[in-house]
Amino acid sequence: MELKVTNLSCNRGGRAVLGGLSFSLAAGQVMLLRGPNGVGKSTLLRALAGLVPCTGQIALDARQLGAEDWADQIAYAGHLDAIKPQLSLAENLEFWAGAYGGNAQKALVAFDLMPLANRLAGACSAGQKRRLGLARLALSARTLWLLDEPSTALDSAATALLAAQIIAHSQAGGMALIATHTDLPLAADTLTLSAPTQPEDDPFLDGAFS
Amino acid sequence: MRALLRRDLRLALRTGGGAGLGLAFFLIVVMLIPFGIGPDTALLARVAPGVLWVAALLACLLSLDRLFQADAEDGSLDILALSPLPLEGVVLIKALAHWLTTGLPLVLAAPVLAIALNLPESGYLWLIASLAAGTPALSALGAFAASLTVGLRRGGLLLSLLVLPLYIPTLIFGARCASLAANGNDALPAFLILAGLSLGTLAVTPFAAAAALRSQLR
């Protein structure tokens, strides 16, 4: 499996956030996304998940972004943990296991959540909720992990658990693209984003400033 | 699919302002009518089907605005959209959960309240039948309107404005069915039209709502 991104551009609210971005990710490769706030790291991850419209050629082997089965290869964990505070941690994860397939028990163990399994998610700390949100990744085998600031609110032990999961994922041939500002304890390549320099192609502005 | 239904039912039962609220609202609105109109039993009997139906519409509205908004706010909607479940199926299951927790209790409570409004005996069966056939359409239309307003911060009021006009055909034939039966006439034609409207609504709204949700996710 290989992810190839060629000339990806993305507009948000009439402003070019990403322009002409190209990179590739080989099987087993982990890449950290770096760059200042607002440069488009989250937008890139959402675009690759298919949640934000973008232009360019994005392909996972022969599978193009926007294809019917694109989402089957994606595991996305955004800023929000997708957790219901009225349900216990085990109930939350069992629901996602029902939707995605996989074993909720194993995912709880992977992120050391078994001691809290029967506690209501609303009574958990931010770091515990984040661990529950990340435990969803361990449910089903998806090739491409898109993680948006996954280590926010995690303590060092939980960050190590997360890193171990990512390493195990990459050793199994999976890929991960991780937007982060902190250093994760794992070997990874880095892709630094900078604001697009090319002018926005607005036909009404053509030649207006030259 | 079953996991989603189980989760939504569990959430509705555990959340304050969930399942019980619509039923309590229905009870109170219907019980206010005799106080407002006075103890004229003949008049009450005449308005009973319409009052019960209008109260059921309003009670259905109460929990609709959170149908997708709660999932959109905590990120669940993004994850659901990426899951193997088709978004149309998600809409249908959520509408079903809404009906089971809001519509079905109304159907069961309506005959009890009809006594307070002095509905003639012949109308009870058709009142229950018309509500049972019509309330699923209310949930499905509501799911469509909820998907349109999911991105708005206070979409509840706009949702009411959007959805109440859509409820008019269901209301006309539902109330007509019950009142025809109460007057001793044949209610079957009105019931069949109502059932047809319901089935048509159930067939179309999941696709419309899923399309609206997809555009809202962007």
pLDDT, position A210? 45
- The answer to whether residue A116 scores a pLDDT higher than 70 is yes
First-residue to last-residue Cα distance in chain A? 45
Instruction: Read off the tokens for A89.
Output: 């941690």
> What integer is the mean pLDDT of A12-39?
87
- The answer to whether residue A183 scores a pLDDT higher than 80 is yes
In a domain, A13, yes or no: no
The whole-angstrom distance between residue A15's C-alpha and the CA centroid of its chain comes to 23
pLDDT, position A15? 80
Gap between the Cα atoms of B80 and B87, Å rounded: 8
The answer to whether residues B202 and B137 touch, using CB atoms and an 8 Å cutoff, is yes
In a domain, A64, yes or no: no
Task: ipTM value, please give it.
Answer: 0.84
Q: Establish if B214 touches chain A: CB-CB under 8 angstroms.
A: no
Distances (CA, A) of B142 to B27, B93, B178, B191: 21, 13, 23, 21
Q: Which of A53, A84, A94 lies nearest to residue B11, judging by beta carbons?
A: A84
Q: Which of A78, A86, A99 lies nearest to residue B3, judging by beta carbons?
A: A99
In a domain, A165, yes or no: yes
Average pLDDT, whole number, for chain B? 91
- Burial degree of B91 (CB within 10 A; 0-12, 13-18, 19+): buried
Q: Which of B4, B15, B218 lies nearest to residue A99, judging by beta carbons?
A: B4
Q: Establish if A184 touches chain B: CB-CB under 8 angstroms.
A: no
Chains A and B: how many Cβ contacts under 8 Å?
Answer: 70
pLDDT, position A89? 92
Shortest distance, CA A72 to any CA of chain B (angstroms)? 7
In a domain, A35, yes or no: yes
In a domain, A191, yes or no: yes
In a domain, A153, yes or no: yes
pLDDT tens column, A53-95: 888 889 888 888 888 788 888 899 988 999 999 999 999 999 9
pLDDT, position B110? 94
Average pLDDT, whole number, for chain A? 86
A17: phi then psi, degrees, rounded to nearest 5: -95, -45
In a domain, A130, yes or no: yes
In a domain, A46, yes or no: yes
> What integer is the mean pLDDT of A198-207?
56
Q: b or e along A94-132 (b: 16 or more beta carbons within 10 Å of the residue's beta carbon)?
A: bbbbbbbebebeebbebbebeebbeebbeebeebbbbbb
| β-bridge mates for residue A77, sequence order | A147
- Chain B residues close to A91, C-beta within 8 Å: 7, 10
Residue ranges making up the domain that contains A149: 28-50+72-195
| DSSP H/E element including A133 | helix A126-135
pLDDT, position A199? 53
Cα Dmax for chain A: 65
Band of pLDDT at residue A166, cut at 50, 70 and 90: very high
CATH number at residue A153: 3.40.50.300
**Beta-sheet pairing, A55-60 with A63-64:** antiparallel
pLDDT tens column, A132-164: 999 998 887 888 999 999 988 889 999 999 999
Gap between the Cα atoms of B123 and B119, Å rounded: 7
The answer to whether residues B177 and B190 touch, using CB atoms and an 8 Å cutoff, is yes
The answer to whether residues A5 and A24 touch, using CB atoms and an 8 Å cutoff, is yes
Report how many domains make up chain A. 1
Q: Do A95 and B84 touch (CB under 8 A)?
A: no
Gap between the Cα atoms of B157 and B164, Å rounded: 11
pLDDT tens column, B33-67: 999 988 888 999 999 999 999 999 999 988 888 89
- The answer to whether residue B9 scores a pLDDT higher than 50 is yes
- The answer to whether residue B104 scores a pLDDT higher than 90 is yes
The answer to whether residues B145 and B63 touch, using CB atoms and an 8 Å cutoff, is no
pLDDT, position B149? 92
DSSP code at position A200: P
- Chain B residues close to A84, C-beta within 8 Å: 7, 11, 74, 76
Gap between the Cα atoms of B13 and B93, Å rounded: 16
Q: Which of residues 118-177 of A touch B (CB under 8 A)?
A: 136
